[in-house]
Structure 1
Amino acid sequence: MVFARDRNNIQEGASNYELTVRIIKAQNIHGTDIVSKPDCYVCLQLPTSLADRKRTRTVWDNANPVWDETFHFRIHSQVKNVLELSVYDEDVGTGDDYLFTVSYDLGNVPLDENVVENFTLNKEFQEELQVEFNLVIIPESQKKVTTNGVLVCPEMVALQVEVHKERKGAFKKKTELALSVRGSFEDSHRILLQSDSDHELNLHETAVFHFPRDFGTEMTATLCRVYSSFDVTFTNETENDSSNQTTVPLSLISPMENYINVQIPAIEVKPLDMQIRLNECPEKLDVRLGFDLCDKEKIFLQKRQRVVAHTLKKVLQLEEDLVGEEIPVVAVMATGGGARAMACLYSHLCGLQNMGLLDCVTYIASASGSTWTTCKLFEDPNWSQNKLSEAINNAKKHVTKNKISTFSVDRLKYYRKELQQTAKDGQKPSFTDLWGLMLESMFNNGKNETRLSDQQAALDNGQNPLPIYLAINVKQNTISTLDFKEWCEFTPYEVGLLKYGASIRTEDFGSEFYMGRLMKKHPEPRTCFLQGLWGNVFSLNLVDTWYLTTQLDTFWDTWVKDRIKDIDKEDIRVRRESAHTKTRLFTPAGVFSRIWKGVLTNRPIDGEQHNFLRGLYLHKDYHQLPQFTTWKDSNLDNFPNKLTPLADNLCLVDAGYFINASFPPLLRQERKVDVIISFDYTLDTPLLSLEQTCNYCTTQGIGFPKISLSEEERKTHKECYVFNDEDNHNCPTVLHFPLVNDTFKKFKEPGVLRSPEEMSDGNVDVTGAFSPYFLTNFTYSERDFDRLMKLTQYNLSNNTELILDALHTAVERRKARNISHKMHQTQAQKKT
């Protein structure tokens, strides 16, 4: 199967299946009760079907329960369908004991055959669960789905419900109609059936539900009595009767122009009439499915190439102009580090400008504290064409000022007002938002109204590099960052989750999406809120802190991590195609481990963002697409039911919780980066993020130079390291500038020794425990700020030749590849 890389791929021939699951029996089940036999029941959950969670009856006091119960699901042929079978031991008076879950890929079930699986739960005790599966095609016309090979978007329809409200006094008691459609964007509507006035003109009310057309959902309509207290209506305190409930299977209705009449038995005399119909929804998606760069970035690159080519010819003293594929892509990578990273990035960019190299740069990637710099710079559409000394002076004013006003009564009132406005704008206020407002107070003059999308003005003519901001998506609770993290990049054009090949317009970040459509538009957040998200040093959980401090995860793996193992038998392995996931047995941890897990993984002060992948599904062959496995960084990638498309919200946090660097967006093959100038602002371990990136890329098969250092090199850090791969010209050259104080102690400028009176200016403490630049310090003295600026600019200018050599090499490699490519084209044409 071939998938398009640069556009949405429309596949024909998607079908619907009727899945029948018969829970037959289990044997030798060991419950948690020592004095009695287990009281077992089985729960069935298939998140990719819109059916409710189903369960068998309980078989009491029996270690070998026999259920012989059958359940039905409607599933989609192009979607990865994984059924979860969970066994519980029921307890009367206390919570039921959860014993285990079997995760089974329904792709193992052939069409029109009965397949009986005996799942081995415990070999030692010969525990087994026996289940029968049957899969048949539902006769109907073929449907089309939109997919990029990783995500699938089936057709969406809108159910329109028209209800006629009665005149005042028609009902003896207040009555409302409760409508619900499981799996829809809206989920439910409540309509008060009695009008407030005899003269009310509009007695009709309309409810709309958007849902996937082929997933077999139903509409439930219930008439409820509403009780009031002190003239306030409490809609959640209702009395209803199952006889007043009507269920309409929506899979039996085809989109049509005419309404269908539905009658609901009324609490009082006459039934309630309502009309329903299905409307088709536009096929065009607001979520871009594709791994290629967006069109706006491609246009920017064409414009930026002209600036880069002109600058490279000048600084490298080339005789000929660089054109097309001969022009290398140079990127700046900046790590986090709080106010230290913010100040140092200003200095480094100023140094590149002074060296005439800033216009050679196409991308600037930043994470955590360094994002505060790029956000501020890009408020000026022509910032790189102006002297950066003024921007540094402005930063100095904010870094050196007293921050006590950040916590004044007036500021606290302002924070409260802004958080209330955030709630009105459709977002759930969090500590991350409060932190963003505090950063705004510390490093800005008053309220900053800018949005990330406003930065497009700084890219219109290719006059500045393209900024990329990095975050990671994690699970908010129960799962550590060690086990799950997904890169999320922000640019002025798009916000995208790299692994899934899904992006939205930056203007739409924070809005609500469903099935790839923009359903509810909310205002784009101000950049201060994004800065709080990108640089929130407070949303670490204890596991993250342990890992960042010790680099050891043995405690987590040994004592806390859930037990998961492959239980496929040979006959399943023979049947299973390469794209099918393994059958896995999940055994929950003990009470002690569950308590520890809750303590260690809880992120009490994280914020949540609307998940723009909501309503999309993983493709049945998502593992076969190279782009997905390239960005695979999670143990949960083999558990599609736990991945982001099925999550209600995103939990985006500081990328430094995994690797304190912003390399990943620059390593995308589509960006073709040749040289990365890496600025590392870590105090005590200035090479750690580089080594972590190397290990990560080696594991994932991403092109990155090998980082090999001797013990001596680890003890004595240099001002600049050059790493490249001579055997792989597609691998970028990395020039790594750690934050160290080496020759600066003796030289105030390259080649200019300090006088005895100036020696104290060279004593910049960037390693000691009492360094003024520690992470949580946001206020520096003017002297400390100035010395940090001089140190970083000196380290850069002292290694100018290394940078120029790397640029020369990149140009030569580009030219050689271009000549080779033309030769291959010529040979191919001759053969044709």
Structure 2
Amino acid sequence: MSEKVTTSYQKVQAFPTWLLSVKILQAKNIRKADRCNGADCYIMLWLPTASKEKARTHTVLNSTAPVWNETFHFVIQSQVKNVLELKIFDERFHSSDDLLFTILFDVAEVCSGERILANFILNSERKEELDVEFAVQEHLGDLESLVTNNVLVSRPVSCLNVHVFKEKSMKKLKEENDLELRVNGSYEDTWKVALESGLAESFPFHYTTYWEPELNAHLQFTRQQQGLYQLRFKEAGIPKHCSSNEEQDKENSSASLIMPLKLLSSGKDVKVILPVSADSDLELKLHTKACSEHLDVRLGFDLCKEENSFLHKRKEVVAAALKNILHLKDTLQDHEVPVVAVMATGSGCRSMVSFCGQLSGLQKLNILDCITYISSTSGSAWVVSNLYKDSNWSQKDLARPIHEAKKHLTKNKISTFSLDHLIHYQTELKHRDEQGISTSFNDLWAVALETILHDKVDDFKLSDQQQAVNEGQNPLPLYLALNVKENQISAFDFKEWCEFSPYETGFLKYGAFIHSEDFGSEFFMGKLMKKNPESRICFLEALWSNTLAVNLLDDWNKLSSTDAYWQKLIRSKIRNIERGHVPPQKSTYLETSWICPEGMLSEVIRDVLTDRPLHYHAHNFLKGLHLHKDYCEDSQFSVWKDCQLDQFPNRLTPSEDEISLVDAAYFINTSCPPLLREERKVDVILSFDYSLDTPFQSVEQMEKYCEEQGIPFPRISLSEEDKKNPRECYLFVDDENKKAPIVLHFPLVLDSFQNFKEPGVKRSKAEMEEGTVPLAGCQSPYHLMNFTYTKKDFDKLLKLTEYNVQNNRDWILQAFCIAIEQKK
């Protein structure tokens, strides 16, 4: 078995496939919901790692002990996590079928060459049971070359090209879309072919090679042509799978072709003739070929080469700045240079103004050149994305961009939703839709936010920020969002960190990243299928700050300050149901489980609770990828796993067509996770918090989160006096764990600024009013939903945050010294 390592994590290996046989035997004591008599039962089988097709048994009518004895076969890859779903339905003839039970069975429980009989206890009180026999044996065929980072797996992809040769006589056909081509489970899924034009066309289908799917061709024509629908194969040795279906409409008839793609030899043409009239044929040419092994999704947890190059250049800048500010005799060696990061939370316009002040304070202390990373979200991200339009912003006076921010924040916003602007918004959204970009209500928020912050269309994009870091001249900006389940579940129960940089966008726990300019494009099995235009950065700014994406369940959780109830509710619906089977000792199989079906009322309640009025849709760049058989054991995945659904691979993000992204604040108001990646080796974090009422909540929640995940982070120890009367700056150091970053936390507080206009310079009596900043109370102008400040309120908040940084210069330098000493 050959193995090639492509990165420090990503591996390419070849493995055989296996044949899984599932024999549905019988069930016992199965009754309808009203318990009056037996159900009309059938079972649906779905193994998403083997096929998108769902198989089903026949229906056994009115029986409490239905017997099926039906066998189904699946070609599986043992290196991926194969979880078979068995759904037991009660068939209804005048309404939708009732789902009685869902069984999740991890195929890893069955060893190669083994045959086991599983008895599933569906309801112990009513003694409802299901017997299923499983067997796995070697499947003769080629080795399957897999690309994996031990969390995600990419499998080989083939392309079927269907070339349709049309004749001008096709105009006789009645329907505009006469020919339908479909390969279930392929990236394209279905093509509708208009035959009227008479032009030859080609239609590709990209599919997982070893799934062995089928091409379905459906042709509709007039009744006069009915006797000529016979499909003939020119190539010998190819079996014919053809059926005719007369529709209720007496004027029309149809013919169908079903072609198993495993019968086609790679690289060879197969021609199919479809006679549609006495003097006209429709010719199809089928051609399959293997796609390149190259992936456009980077599977790996290490940093990309562009970021590593940036770090090498930035170290020289940081070393020179530290030598100057700390008055060092010698320049620091590479291994002695600490990685310092600025972490800004979100709070709308409040965080925007505050972060402007803090960056100004750092610049006046000559500390900006000591910073390697800047992470942000929400309003702080608005500041960063605007600054990086200037490729040398940190070397220039920040007065100009601050003045620009002040101009827009203090202007009247009444015209934001004027008729002219609404027409412009509608045009923008229509244009995105025409480009193939998935749109949502969040896009309206984006163009409105662009008007609020810029008053003009800004063509700047995230990838354009590379010009501001290509020589290490500025810190590398990092942005953060949460991937959630749209209209299904609270962010407390499912959330995944998604980070953005000028170089890459990706998911931390999956170790999967794409080029930033490819975000919004369409992928399949790690390959770029359709390149869509990169969105203007205003659409990402709206994503990083979509303050209306919270749902009622999120609000409930925040009010209750705990999600224990909901976790308990989930756990109560999942339990072990298999009897009499002992799994292999060294196995990462998931316990066989069942999930209680929801009734109509509970579904309605769930929809109300979890509906998100504002979220960002994007094509899922993990689409098609599978979970590795040991994904739960991988240390990188384990660090970032955040929810009960992590134990259910069929429900995780790779199975989704789209991702739903919201503001990170709906879990923790922080942009810290990208800085905690082990590969970034961040030594010092300057934590800027903009909460008005809970100045330590975000950093305390981050400490708790890191403790649960096993991520190094210092202990946040606070006295009652600190909580009651917080100071301007706090230094947190973990002396026992040198891998934990040093955290300097700056809450948004009014402390010595009341009496000092500059560090060490007291206010005169006439200047005391300038030191009064109304942060507290319901009348504070700095509340979250306020998008218009007075010039006076803007200036007060700006000067306060700038002062709080400058007044704590000694704490910052002390943190730098501790970090340097630790690295030595």
TM-score by length of 1: 0.92
**Aligned-partner Cα distance in 2 for 1:564–1:267:** 59
Query: CA offset at residue 263 of structure 1?
Result: 4.2
CA RMSD after TM alignment? 2.3
In structure 2, the partner of 1:519 is 529
In structure 2, the partner of 1:671 is 680
Any idea what the Cα deviations from partners look like across 1:546-598, whole Å, max 9, x if unmatched?
2233313355456688712233446333x264322221111124444332211
Residues 507/764 of structure 1: CA separation in 2 closer, same or farther (3 Å cut): same
**DSSP 3-state at the match of 2:637:** helix
Q: Which moved more, 1:17-26 or 1:666-675?
A: 17-26
**Aligned-partner Cα distance in 2 for 1:141–1:606:** 44
Residues 109/763 of structure 1: CA separation in 2 closer, same or farther (3 Å cut): same
Residues 51/444 of structure 1: CA separation in 2 closer, same or farther (3 Å cut): closer
**Aligned-partner Cα distance in 2 for 1:572–1:60:** 34
Query: CA offset at residue 4 of structure 1?
Result: 5.6
- Indicate yes or no: 2:700 matched with 1:691: yes
Question: Is the 2:588–2:630 Cα contact (8 Å) retained in structure 1?
Answer: yes
Aligned residue identity for 1:182: N
In structure 2, the partner of 1:506 is 516
Query: CA offset at residue 812 of structure 1?
Result: 0.6
One of 544, 551, 555 as aligned partner of 1:545: 555
Q: Which moved more, 1:383-392 or 1:758-767?
A: 758-767
Residues 194/295 of structure 1: CA separation in 2 closer, same or farther (3 Å cut): same
Any idea what the Cα deviations from partners look like across 1:451-508, whole Å, max 9, x if unmatched?
0111111012111000000001111022221111110000000111111111111111
In structure 2, the partner of 1:360 is 370
Question: Is the 2:169–2:280 Cα contact (8 Å) retained in structure 1?
Answer: no
**DSSP 3-state at the match of 1:39:** strand
In structure 1, the partner of 2:804 is 795
| Residues 73-222 of structure 1: pairs in structure 2 closer than 5 A | 73-168=74-169, 171=172, 173-174=174-175, 176-195=178-197, 203-222=199-218
Aligned residue identity for 2:188: E
Question: Is the 2:437–2:618 Cα contact (8 Å) retained in structure 1?
Answer: yes
Q: Which moved more, 1:341-350 or 1:621-630?
A: 621-630
Query: CA offset at residue 260 of structure 1?
Result: 1.4
**DSSP 3-state at the match of 2:789:** coil
Aligned residue identity for 2:200: H
**Aligned-partner Cα distance in 1 for 2:345–2:277:** 65
One of 240, 254, 274 as aligned partner of 2:265: 254
Q: Which moved more, 1:419-428 or 1:774-783?
A: 419-428
- Indicate yes or no: 2:727 matched with 1:725: no
Any idea what the Cα deviations from partners look like across 1:53-111, whole Å, max 9, x if unmatched?
11122222222221211112222232211100111222332222212211111111112
Q: Which moved more, 1:614-623 or 1:375-384?
A: 614-623
**Aligned-partner Cα distance in 2 for 1:390–1:669:** 36
Which runs of 5 or more structure 1 residues have no equivalent in the other structure?
197-202, 228-235, 816-832
Question: Is the 2:173–2:222 Cα contact (8 Å) retained in structure 1?
Answer: no
Any idea what the Cα deviations from partners look like across 1:596-642, whole Å, max 9, x if unmatched?
21111112432310001112111112122211111111211110000
Give the % identical residues: 48
**Aligned-partner Cα distance in 1 for 2:572–2:375:** 35
- Indicate yes or no: 2:574 matched with 1:564: yes
Query: CA offset at residue 123 of structure 1?
Result: 2.2
In structure 2, the partner of 1:233 is none
Residues 177/95 of structure 1: CA separation in 2 closer, same or farther (3 Å cut): closer
Question: Is the 2:546–2:614 Cα contact (8 Å) retained in structure 1?
Answer: no
Question: Is the 2:264–2:270 Cα contact (8 Å) retained in structure 1?
Answer: no
- Indicate yes or no: 2:475 matched with 1:465: yes
Aligned positions, number: 799
Q: Which moved more, 1:358-367 or 1:474-483?
A: 474-483
Any idea what the Cα deviations from partners look like across 1:650-704, whole Å, max 9, x if unmatched?
1011101111000100000000000000000111111111111111111110011
Residues 195/719 of structure 1: CA separation in 2 closer, same or farther (3 Å cut): closer
Question: Is the 1:5–1:148 Cα contact (8 Å) retained in structure 2?
Answer: no
In structure 2, the partner of 1:70 is 71
Question: Is the 1:10–1:144 Cα contact (8 Å) retained in structure 2?
Answer: no
Which runs of 5 or more structure 2 residues have no equivalent in the other structure?
224-246
Aligned residue identity for 1:567: I
- Indicate yes or no: 2:55 matched with 1:46: no
**Aligned-partner Cα distance in 2 for 1:119–1:215:** 28
Q: Which moved more, 1:185-194 or 1:666-675?
A: 185-194
- Indicate yes or no: 2:328 matched with 1:318: yes
In structure 2, the partner of 1:536 is 546
In structure 2, the partner of 1:331 is 341
**Aligned-partner Cα distance in 2 for 1:263–1:308:** 70
Question: Is the 1:659–1:692 Cα contact (8 Å) retained in structure 2?
Answer: yes
| Residues 258-657 of structure 1: pairs in structure 2 closer than 5 A | 258-264=268-274, 272-554=282-564, 556-557=566-567, 563-569=573-579, 571-573=581-583, 575=584, 577-657=586-666
Question: Is the 1:225–1:239 Cα contact (8 Å) retained in structure 2?
Answer: no
**Aligned-partner Cα distance in 2 for 1:111–1:354:** 67
**Aligned-partner Cα distance in 1 for 2:251–2:78:** 38
Question: Is the 1:472–1:652 Cα contact (8 Å) retained in structure 2?
Answer: yes
Aligned residue identity for 1:108: E
Q: Which moved more, 1:537-546 or 1:54-63?
A: 54-63
Question: Is the 2:505–2:516 Cα contact (8 Å) retained in structure 1?
Answer: yes
Q: Which moved more, 1:577-586 or 1:524-533?
A: 577-586
**Aligned-partner Cα distance in 2 for 1:28–1:463:** 72
Residues 172/702 of structure 1: CA separation in 2 closer, same or farther (3 Å cut): closer
TM-score by length of 2: 0.93
